[in-house]
Amino acid sequence: MLDFLLDPLSYEFMRNAILAGAVIGLLCPIVGAYLVVQRMALLGDVIAHSILPGLAVANFLGVDILIGAFVSGMFSSFMIGWIRSQSRVKVDSVMALIFASFFALGVTLLTVLDRRVDLHELLLGDILGVTSGDVWRAVMIAAIVLVLIGLFYRELLFYTFDKTGAEASGLPVNLLNFGLMAGITLTLIVGMQIVGVILVVSLMVGPAITAFLLVKELHLMMIVGAGLGIVSSVSGMYSSYYLDLPSGPAIALVVFGLFLLALLFSPTQGILTRSPLPKRSTLSRRLEKP
């Protein structure tokens, strides 16, 4: 058993990949919990793909891709909010439009400005190619985002469940929204660099909704989701090593497998274990409000 655990760690690329996956697995579900409880999980996917135009321009200009990707991701969030405020178009339709438009623009710019960028790698990631520098960068960004969430947890909680009440009480709701979007964008950027666009969205949403089936409060949802994210990342890497599977998809499949287990066997909400009239959690009742 000890050899089973230690053998992959004898390779530096596996150590870096496992550590990077654990960091992303910790951070993504905590940030993703806010998207899930706001019924905005698709927003993570939209921002992840909206990063591409900024990444292409940053690559072409020779600046840090973090800057270009962050600007592009934040601009897509602004566009979604602006279109919603200026029209009767529903948010899901707006997000679908921004998703397709920014992704198309990103692919076009990547093709025209810098053909050296591998779109396949951006979408699916290359976690086995992660360096120690990438790991430290992920750790620093994760630390910044988590510290800020901890400092403003109560304000974000109020804003998440009652925007009108938060505004009436004098909270700076626009600043809170900007901070939340910035945290989501940073998380997606650092995750995209390590595991790709598709997998980072899986880690942001999958463990969060799995935790939603298991616990009743937002802070517990974050804690359980983070634990599930770490387990998924590490388990996926070991599965990839021993079963000769692609690393990113292996992690995503573990995420989905854990969700299915919770869906079937959750003590309070499992299909096979719940009572005929299950008692709904406070979080569930809030999410069901129109």
Q: What SS3 string covers 200-215?
A: HHHHHHHHHHHHHCCC
In whole angstroms, give the CA distance from residue 267 to residue 265.
Answer: 6
Q: What is the pLDDT of residue 39?
A: 81
Confidence band, pLDDT 50/70/90 cuts, at residue 265: very high
User: Which pLDDT score is estimated for 224?
Assistant: 96
pLDDT for position 117: 60
Q: Where are the domains of the chain?
A: 2-288
3-state secondary structure of 268: coil
Task: Examine the pLDDT at 248 and tell me if it is beyond 60.
Answer: yes
Give me the phi and psi of 51, to 5 degrees please: -70, -25
Q: What is the pLDDT of residue 281?
A: 59
193 vs 279: which has the higher pLDDT = 193
pLDDT at 122: 65
pLDDT confidence band for 61 (50 / 70 / 90) = confident
| pLDDT number for residue 233 | 92
Residue 1 in this model has a pLDDT that exceeds 90:
no
Task: Supply angle C-alpha 80, 173, 101, rounded to 5.
Answer: 10
- pLDDT of 114-173, one tens digit each? 655 666 666 666 788 888 888 898 899 999 999 999 999 999 988 888 888 888 888 888
What whole-number distance in Å separates Cα of residue 24 and Cα of residue 188?
Answer: 9
20-54 residue pLDDT tens? 999 999 999 999 999 888 888 788 888 888 888 88
Average pLDDT over residues 2-6: 79
Task: Just give the CATH number of 2-288.
Answer: 1.10.3470.10
Place of tokens 């998380």: 187
* Confidence (pLDDT) at 116: 59
State residue 190's pLDDT score. 84
Q: What is the DSSP string of 164-209?
A: HHHHHTT--HHHHHHHHHHHHHHHHHHHHHHH-HHHHHHHHHHHHH
Predicted confidence (pLDDT) per residue in 198-231, tens digit: 788 889 999 999 999 999 889 999 999 999 999 9
Tell me the whole-structure pTM to 2 decimals.
Answer: 0.85
pLDDT value for 211: 94
